[in-house]
Each structure stands twice: as C-alpha cells, then as structure tokens.
Amino acid sequence: MTTVIRFSSLGDIVLAGAVTGQLGEVSFRTLPRYRELALRLPGVVRVLDPGEPAVGGRVIDLHNNLRSRQYRADVRVSRQDWRRRARVWFKASPAEPVVTRYGRAAGVEPSAPPWLPPVERGSRLVLAPGAAHATKRWPYWRELARAWDGPVIAVGGPGEEGIVTELGGVAEAGFERTLEAMQGGAVLVAGDTGLLHLGAAVGLPVVGLFGPTTSDDGFYCYGDRGRAVELPLACRPCSRFGGPTCPVGDHACLREIHPDQVLSAVRSLV
C-alpha cells in the first residue's frame, strides 16, 4: 500500500490523479471535505483524515508544507515556490508543470486525463464563472452564455450563488451535484480554478481563461484537449494565486478577452 498526502485544494487533488493510478493500491490522506473526490481518483482504495494513524508502506508527500511535513514520508514533491515567485516578480521562466513534479516524486510517468470516471458528452456549455480572487474573475459570462446556441449550465462554490444561479446553475451544490451538472457537457469554460481541472479530469474539453496567472505556470496541462485563452501583457503574471484588485488598475488581462474569442476557442473543441 502506498500513501499519498495532499490536503488541498480541489485542483491540486484532481491533478494527483495523474499519478495515483500507477501506484497500485493507494491510501490518500486529505482534508475531510475532499474525501469524496479522493475516493474517485484512480487506485485510491482508502482515504485517511489528517488525524488517522498511518497505514504503513511507502509514503509520497505531494503537498510538502508545514502540515504535511508532520508525517513521515519517503519522498516529498518539489514545490518550486521561489521559482513561481521569481516568475511573478521578475518574469523569470515558469516553474515545471505540477504533474511532472508529482510524477518525479512518485517515480512514475504522469498519465493524461480523464482521471475520474468520464461524464457523458452532449451539447451543454458548462461554465464555471467563479474564482476565489477577484482578479481571476472574467467579466463576460452572461454574454458568453447568450452567444452559445445550445443549453448552458453553470457550476460554482460558496459565494458564487448570484452569478451561478443567474446562468442557470446551482452553487454550493456539493461534489456529486457538480459532477451531475457536468453530464452532457460539450466543453467547460473556467478561469484558472479547481473546476477547470475537475472538468478536464472527467473528460470534458476545457477552455481556461488566464489573467493574473499564466497557463505555463504549472497547472494547466491539457494540450489538444483544451485551449488556454490569455493575452500577451507585460504585467502578467502579477500573482501566483490572483488578488483582490488589479495592481495597474485596468484589469486588462481578462477585461480585454472578448466573448467572441472565448466562443471560437469553445467551437474549436466541439
């Protein structure tokens, strides 16, 4: 039995699916709110809460933070935090893709998605309009929904009820209902958020809208199965995670991405 440690967050746990399937039977140690997700990752037969005793065998720490370092591990992932900071501060070269670092820590070749049971494909445009940080929120979801000549559904989390309900979805719906909403999806459109990775993990083609962060900063890894829409602005990336306000004041990185541009990225995938 191999134990994999990754406490959060949604996207990082989804991306762990690139390696768990190559490790035999896996115990996955994570926060209780990610239990359902972790149980669906390939190879995972058991989920351990933070307080549960270890099960023995090899331990791979894919988090490598203060909390995870309290547990014994045979190997810990390279975080490359300083490289990511240098990317923001000095526009240095990007960090290695997360799945590459996960693969190196686990000693396996990362697999391509889907990493979760695939959804049935259909004609629905699936939108994930929310983001924890304001600068990661694209302003034209309503226009995109109106321009799509088919059914639309939105998915989101706590605090995103307004826009998600307006676009015909259910926010704070829980993991199961979010997956249900993705059934019949043609393409998922999202900002640089965990739902982008969840959509790809269940086999949907994805369009990722990148503003204060960039698609080459390690998390976006979908090649021909996705499109990254982003603008070549000198101020990008201005943050590793997004922030409350645009440092230069105009939020051009996302405000200048027009719905037509996103729609043509969507159409190129269907």
Contact positions vs ligand SF4 (CB under 6 A)? 135, 211-212, 233, 235-236, 238, 246-248, 251-253
Shortest distance, position 228 Cβ to ligand SF4, whole Å: 15
Alpha carbon distances (Å) from 163 to 31, 36, 120, 145, 185: 28, 26, 25, 12, 19
Least Å distance between CB 193 and ligand SF4? Answer: 15
Q: Please identify, using beta-carbon distances, which residue of 118 and 139 lies nearer to ligand SF4.
A: 139
How many whole angstroms separate alpha carbon 209 and alpha carbon 11?
Answer: 15
43: left (phi over 0), alpha (psi -120 to 50) or beta: left
Closer by beta carbon to ligand SF4, 112 or else 248: 248
- Order of strands, sheet of 26-29, starting from the edge strand that comes earlier in the sequence: 44-48, 26-29, 2-5, 58-61, 75-76
Q: How far apart are CA 36 and CA 2, in angstroms?
A: 19
Cβ proximity to ligand SF4: between 196 and 204 the closer is 196
Cβ neighbour number for residue 184 with a 10 Å cutoff: 15
Residue 53 Cβ vs ligand SF4, minimum distance, rounded to whole Å: 45
What's the min distance (Å) between Cβ of 143 and ligand SF4? Answer: 20
Taking the least distance from each CB to ligand SF4, the nearer of 106 and 229 is 229
